[in-house]
Amino acid sequence: MKKGKTAVIVGAQWGDEGKGKIVDVLSQNFQVVARYAGGHNAGHTVIINGKKFILQLVPSGILRSGCRSVIGNGVVFDPIAFLKEVGNLRDAGVEVGGNLFISNRAHVILPYHRMIELASENAPGRVKIGTTSRGIGPAYEDKMGRRGLRVADLLDLKLLKTHIENACREKNMIAHALFNSEPLDADKMYEEYATVSAKIAPFVCDTAALLNRALAEGQSIVFEGAQGTMLDIDHGTYPFVTSSSATSGGAVTGTGVPPNAIDTVIGVTKAYCTRVGGGPFPSEALDAAGDLLRTRGSEFGAVTGRPRRCGWMDLPLLRYAGMINGISWLVVTKLDVLDEFAEIPVCLGYKIDGKKAEEIPAQDSGFGKIECIYQKMPGWRTSTQGITHLEKLPKAAREYLSFLERESGARVGVVSTGPGREQTIFVEEFAAKLKELTGSVTKAQARK
């Protein structure tokens, strides 16, 4: 049997690029969607027939019947948040049983992780990263410190009790000494999570075996990233980053498939730039234009509701994301947000201390010295919302997309012109690539 094909979908900016919608649209062609990093700090918003779904842990593929969804070992897993999300999906009529699987090797977020993160983020003298305080970072710290609790361990009640008793003793001492926090009750925590354990058990399996078996059987898999390249723990704007491998390499380590199983990488970028929380943002628009981008783009976090910082397309960062991830195809989202602008600035390059910079700075202090070199592209001043054919876009909008394609070095394969599934343009060559990957193509994807 022919081996199955795969695609990795990654954020090419600071997250919030619209990956949820794109995974949802593409999952119609793939048999499996696998999430490989992050936790319930990542929110994917999908709108289907006007109904909004906000997914935090569950992969977007769950909204497609017949598509299996996998939460991989690279994810940090909050079982209570998961059960709440599953309950909401069932209430909305989404079939979950038999379609959703959790890795037995994923690490579990427990209440003391949230306690430590919240206290640490608010500690005097601490550089505020802008975390969601949901325990993501401390859970990854325990994972790397080899003192974490995995999903398989959550199901072993004897081990769970011992782990919670020991962890609470240690974490309560640390939190009290450093932050004067109130202690957590180990017995109460055990009772709650022992109950949760039984509810989680039907979803748990060896997902690495599941995914590799699916590939061997000829099934196609799309790997769903969380956050974006510039939030990657290694390659992002450190320390203003997330705690996991958000780049395409994380798809391998975060699910257990081999590197040679990855066939193509699809990068998702907005037609402009946003980021949430603190940290560098060279092309940020701190003026009325930035406010207009935020208003038109409804730029508020799906999980936190925080207003996003807004600015212009940053080509040096887009090229960097292409290099780090091996991006072959670009998905450009929210093109319609730019409809009202007479001119659209694009950052072509950087100057640092008056000299043209060829590489992205490694330090936050280096970003602080950046002077963006801008080129103003003509706007189109007409609505593009809901357009589904490339040739029906205004000429200036098509030229803007061609410019991004030339400057980034990756092909533009998909353009999103609104939040709904149907508000999507598929470029003919990309539709052909999808057919090669999955053996199928939808009518929408066959449109030019």
Residues linked to residue 284 through DSSP beta bridges, in sequence order: 311
Residues linked to residue 314 through DSSP beta bridges, in sequence order: 347
Contact assessment for residue 189 and residue 169, using Cβ atoms and an 8 Å cutoff = no
Query: Is 44 tagged catalytic?
Result: yes
Q: Supply the angle between the helices 79-91 and 186-200 in degrees, to the nearest 10.
A: 40
Whether omega for the bond prior to residue 239 falls within 30 degrees of 0, making it cis, is yes
β-strand pairing of 264-270 with 6-11: parallel
Contact assessment for residue 355 and residue 387, using Cβ atoms and an 8 Å cutoff = no
Burial environment of residue 288 by CB neighbours within 10 A (0 to 12, 13 to 18, 19 or more): exposed
β-strand pairing of 6-11 with 221-224: parallel
Sequence-separated (6 or more) residues with CB below 8 Å from residue 104: 150, 151, 152, 155, 204, 205, 206, 207
Dump strand ranges (E) for 63-139: 68-71, 76-77, 100-103, 107-108
β-strand pairing of 32-35 with 221-224: parallel
> Which residue among the candidates 24, 40, 44, 107 is catalytic per the annotation?
44
Contact assessment for residue 134 and residue 39, using Cβ atoms and an 8 Å cutoff = yes
> Which residue among the candidates 16, 153, 314, 336 is catalytic per the annotation?
16
Dist. CA 55–CA 61, nearest whole Å: 10
Residue with tokens 């048999």: 31
Contact assessment for residue 40 and residue 437, using Cβ atoms and an 8 Å cutoff = no
Give the chain's length.
Answer: 448
Residues marked as catalytic: 16, 44
